[in-house]
Amino acid sequence: MKRVRLTLLHNQPIGTIAPELHGHFVEMLSGCVNGGIWNTKKDDYDELILRKSADLGLELIRWPGGCFADAYNWRDGVGPVKDRPTTITNRWGPDEVENHRFGSHEFMEFCRRTGAKAWINGNVATGSPREMVEWIEYLSYRGDTTLSRQRAAHGHPEAYDVAYWGVGNECWDCGGKFTPTTYGEAYRRFESAIPRYKDMPMRLIVGGPDGNKPEEREVWTEGVLKTLFEWRRPRIYAVDAHFYIWGDPNGTGKSNAFNADQFSALMWRTLEIEDMFLKQREIIDRFDRGIKLMIGEYGPWHSDAWEKFFWQHVTLRDAVCVAAHLDLFHNHCDILAAATYTQLCNVLGAPFQTVDGVSYSTPVYEVFSLYKAHRGQEAIRHEVETEEIRFPFRDQTLSHQRVTASVSRAKDGRYVLTCANLDPDETAELVIGGDEITFGSARAWLLHADDPQTSHQPGRDPVIAPKSLAAKVTNGQVVIELPAAGIVKVELAR
């Protein structure tokens, strides 16, 4: 057992944890929508996914892609279903035939029913500024125009609120293979065409870097912003950076077959995201501290996902990886405005999967649910004292932190602490104290399974679900035994 001392620095608030840090990403890709959140047999939303998404509250959904966004014409997805065209994209290899049953109205309704704001990405690579302007008008114009009348004729007279509009997706690759300068120029064109409606804030998002390329990510953001700032400045609400936790057969194993060192290798890669977003923030601050930073795509992408068109097993290891992300996001909620997890269903480390038409929630769902208590609360700083984890990786020895944790304070003065044990072998003895405060009571809930390769099965109850865990209060401190690869939420009162 390894001792981990966690000290809450109650006089050091960080900021409010924006609920949008717990957002999700839905792309018209593989089984995310068709056969996922949209049950094609019933021709309706999947009942379980809709219900559990509404229970969780999805907060923010980014749609329709991803790479799909830059092949999408919004007109294909509105109007009578029988008149919608069938189109094909094959960005990722297999031919993807899309019947457009799920379009803008179905998306906005899904947001409404799951308590999410909408983030829609416009098409820069194969679309035009006019197409994007008309999409905005169709969805959100409150006055009387041909397009707003069409929206009404299609069943929705009221204008929709779209919280964010993205100008393209991954414009350095599938979104147009732009350079920082040529994308910056394209952004200027789109931005100058995008309307300014009365009483409707237009929050435009700049396509940020490929966060997985250290040699490129800073050059991209700096170059794009330079182009946007060198002459009359366009509207910019945020920059959207992407970062995946790449798996490879030797380094991190497969999604459901890995050893302890491969578990550690995945955690080590996860933690790099912090460096990525801190440097992005620094660059953005050089131009304007008011521009927000968002993380539009993140999560584990195992090597076997390539074999099954983005479907991978979602295990306890993925849950620990997601818990670590959320802890990092909370600890930097002063510099991060939103994050949308990749993707909501059947694609990569999804919170929902379907097998033979049966939908179920995965261990990742349980993490979002456990961590929900932090949303909207005030994050406060903490200190961790413990030994690092060391593990062999190829011909080197690498190390990373033993746990991630985040702490927030509710209005009534109570604290919520979450903590992920990144060690696949050792229990952590958490000793939780405060710098000048003591605790009188504590309750804890654990997500865990003995084998980190555990995943959920269709038609069975989730095996990784919150169970209460002993929290001993002695002399104002709380002691908890957090099993290897366990994730805990602790509610603390003074």
Choose between 27 and 46: whose C-beta lies nearer to ligand AHR.
27
Among 56, 67, 167, 482, binds ligand AHR (CB under 6 A): 67
Going along 183-278, which residue ranges are E strands? 204-210, 238-246
- Selected range binding ligand AHR among 59-67, 196-204, 376-384, 462-470, rule: CB under 6 A: 59-67
Backbone angles phi, psi at 65, to 5 degrees: -170, 175
* Of 63, 76, 70, 55, residue with least CA distance to 32: 63
121 makes contact with ligand AHR (CB under 6 A) = no
Among the listed residues 144, 216, 151, the one whose alpha carbon sits nearest the alpha carbon of residue 177: 216
* Number of Cβ within a 10 Å radius of residue 411: 8
Q: Is 31 in the site for ligand AHR (CB under 6 A)?
A: no
- Segment near ligand AHR (CB under 6 A); pick from 60-68, 228-236, 377-385, 405-413: 60-68
Contact string 339-368 vs ligand AHR (x = CB under 6 A):
---xx-------------------------
Q: Which of 170, 191, 240, 423: binder of ligand AHR (CB under 6 A)? A: 170
Q: 418, 379 in Cβ contact below 8 A?
A: no
Residue whose structure tokens are 């957002």: 23
- Using DSSP, state whether 68 is helix, strand or coil: helix
Query: Per CB under 6 A, does 377 bind ligand AHR?
Result: no
Which of residues 68 and 365 has its CB atom nearest to ligand AHR in the complex?
A: 68
Q: Which stretch binds ligand AHR (CB under 6 A): 64-72, 315-323, 395-403, 447-455?
A: 64-72
Rg (C-alpha) for the chain, rounded Å, is 22
How is residue 310 written in tokens?
């983005």
Number of residues lying near ligand AHR (CB under 6 A): 10
Question: Is 18 among the residues that bind ligand AHR (CB under 6 A)?
Answer: no
Which of 317, 299, 342 shows the shortest CA–CA distance to 257?
Answer: 317
Binding of residue 27 to ligand AHR (CB under 6 A)? yes
Structure tokens at 203: 């929050």
> Which of residues 297, 318, 366, 423 is near ligand AHR by CB under 6 A?
297
DSSP 251-286: TT-BTTB--HHHHHHHHHHHHHHHHHHHHHHHHHHH
Residue number, 269 or 409, with CB nearest to ligand AHR:
269
Q: Is 70 in the site for ligand AHR (CB under 6 A)?
A: no
| Alpha-carbon span 260 to 170, nearest angstrom | 33
Residue 26 Cβ vs ligand AHR, minimum distance, rounded to whole Å: 10
280 binds ligand AHR (CB under 6 A): no
CB 234, min distance to ligand AHR, A: 23
Q: Which residue among 89, 121, 140, 169 contacts ligand AHR (CB under 6 A)?
A: 169
Closest CB to ligand AHR among residues 176, 452:
176
Dist CA 17 CA 417 (whole Å): 13
- Does 318 sit near ligand AHR (CB under 6 A)? no
Among 65, 168, 176, 424, binds ligand AHR (CB under 6 A): 65
Q: Is 303 helix (H, G, I), strand (E, B) or coil?
A: helix
341's tokens: 């997890």
Residue 66 touches ligand AHR, criterion: CB under 6 A: yes
Q: Is 331 in the site for ligand AHR (CB under 6 A)?
A: no
Tell me the closest approach of the beta carbon of residue 136 to ligand AHR, in angstroms.
21
- In this complex, which beta carbon is closest to ligand AHR, that of residue 293 or of residue 389? 293
Backbone angles phi, psi at 142, to 5 degrees: -85, -20
Q: Which residue is nearest to ligand AHR (CB)?
A: 66
Q: CB-wise, 137 or 170, nearer to ligand AHR?
A: 170
Pairing relationship of beta strands 467-469 and 441-447 according to DSSP bridges: antiparallel
Comparing CB distances to ligand AHR, the nearer of 25 and 138 is 25
109-141 burial, b if ≥16 CB within 10 A, otherwise e?
A: ebbeebebbbbbbbbbbebebebbbbbbbbbbb
**Binders in 172-231 for ligand AHR, by CB under 6 A:** none
Distance CA 30, CA 36 (A): 9
Q: Which residue, 165 or 439, is less far from ligand AHR as judged by CB?
A: 165
Q: What count of other Cβ atoms lies within 10 Å of the Cβ of residue 14?
A: 20
Smallest gap from Cβ 201 to ligand AHR, in A, equals 25
What is the rounded distance in angstroms from the CA atom of residue 200 to the CA atom of residue 195?
Answer: 10
Instruction: Give CA–CA dist 74/145, Å, rounded.
Output: 18
What residues line the site for ligand AHR (CB under 6 A)? 27, 29, 65-67, 169-170, 297, 342-343
